[in-house]
Amino acid sequence: MNGVISIGTLQMALAYVYVLVLMAIVKKRGIGGEREILWSSFRMTVQLVAVGYVLGFMFTSPHPLATVSVYALMQVFAVHTILGRLRFRPGRQLKKVIAGSLVVGTTVSTAYFLLAVIGLKPWFDPRYFIPVAGMIVGNSMTGVAVGIERLHSSIKNRRDLIETALMLGAPPELAARDAANEAFWAAVLPTINSMLGMGIVFLPGMMTGQILAGVSPLTAIEYQIAVMLAILGGVTAALYLLVDAGTRTYFNRRCQLDLAD
């Protein structure tokens, strides 16, 4: 029982039964969304097959440019996903802040993890770089998406309090501090909650993957703990930059609250 069980075409087809079950339920109950379910299942399949081939190629002939290109693509995709999901129209300045905070926050955290924590050599080894960066960027993407939505709604809901604070002579960052803190906490909370349940409620994906691939559970948890902390670091850094610089975009040069939309 040491080898990995390979999933054949027929077995893979059986796995798609889950999608069919969901489709049947939403159709029967009139919930709708069948197209979205089909589209997301199809996209997931195509994206993963494609990435499997790309990673296979990269692992056999590692090159710094290839690793950096994949990393850059990951960031572009993450920023695009966040902007596409927003329920309000951000201004140009806020879009820059969203992109900047995600890229800078996750890059600092990824670099620290790869270079200082695991001492990766060469630094661009895609076998480590790509999956670790993927987990940090993916989780931070979710955090930033939650953070910016919450920041926007908090500032709108607290408009009177923020303007009253400005009238009393508060600088914008102090006037909007509660809104910014609320957004930061709301966005970092899912990561903290997932740490609480980890190992008891669920086994995290990376650890599960390593165990399935035959790695000893003790080695798997070492990596999982370190990666989880790196994810926390990435989410924290991205959110810190986001709420700080994002809050400033809601005020103009005369420190007036500017809720354009």
Partner 1 sequence: MTIAAFSLRDVRFKGVLDVGFLEIPAGKITCLVGSSGGGKTSLLRLLNNLASPDQGDIRFFGQPVESYDPVLLRRRVVMLPQVPPVFPGSVGDNLQLALRLSQRRPAAPDRLVRVLSQVSLVKDLDTPAAQLSGGEKQRLALGRVLLLDPDVLLLDEPSSGLDENTERQVFTGLVVQVREGGRTIVMASHSARLAGEFSDRLVHLEGGRVLEVQHRDAGEGRQL
- For position 255 contacting partner 1 by CB under 8 A, the verdict is yes
- For position 208 contacting partner 1 by CB under 8 A, the verdict is no
Q: DSSP H helical segments within 158-202, as ranges?
A: 159-167, 172-175, 177-197
Which residues within the stretch 104-163 sit at the binding site for partner 1 (CB under 8 A)? Answer: 160-161, 163
Q: How far is the CB of 162 from partner 1 (least distance, A)?
A: 10
**Candidate residues 19, 23, 117, 170; the one interacting with partner 1 per rule CB under 8 A:** 170
114 in Cβ contact with 129 (< 8 Å)? yes
Which lies closer to partner 1 via its Cβ, residue 163 or residue 222?
Answer: 163
Q: How far is the CB of 252 from partner 1 (least distance, A)?
A: 8
**Candidate residues 25, 174, 192, 259; the one interacting with partner 1 per rule CB under 8 A:** 174
Q: How far is the CB of 19 from partner 1 (least distance, A)?
A: 47
Torsional sign, CA 127, 133, 136, 140 = negative
Identify the CA nearest to 105 among candidates 232, 249, 227. 232
**Candidate residues 175, 228, 241, 243; the one interacting with partner 1 per rule CB under 8 A:** 175
- For position 181 contacting partner 1 by CB under 8 A, the verdict is no
- For position 169 contacting partner 1 by CB under 8 A, the verdict is yes
Candidate ranges 13-21, 66-74, 113-121, 248-256; the one touching partner 1 (CB under 8 A): 248-256
Contacts (Cβ under 8 Å, ≥6 apart) of 123: 64, 114, 115, 129
Contacts (Cβ under 8 Å, ≥6 apart) of 162: 155, 175, 176, 179, 257
What is each CA distance from 210 to 110, 197, 222, 224, in whole angstroms? Answer: 20, 19, 11, 10
Residue 27: both structure tokens together: 């159709």
**Candidate residues 58, 146, 165, 188; the one interacting with partner 1 per rule CB under 8 A:** 165
- For position 260 contacting partner 1 by CB under 8 A, the verdict is no
Could you report how far apart the first and last alpha carbons of the chain are, in Å?
A: 60
Candidate ranges 104-112, 113-121, 164-172, 219-227; the one touching partner 1 (CB under 8 A): 164-172
Residue 256: both structure tokens together: 């007036």
- For position 15 contacting partner 1 by CB under 8 A, the verdict is no
Written as one string, the DSSP assignment of 191-233 is HHHHHHHBTTTB--HHHHHHHHTT--HHHHHHHHHHHHHHHHH
- For position 171 contacting partner 1 by CB under 8 A, the verdict is yes
Catalog residues that contact partner 1 under the rule CB under 8 A: 160-161, 163-171, 174-175, 254-257
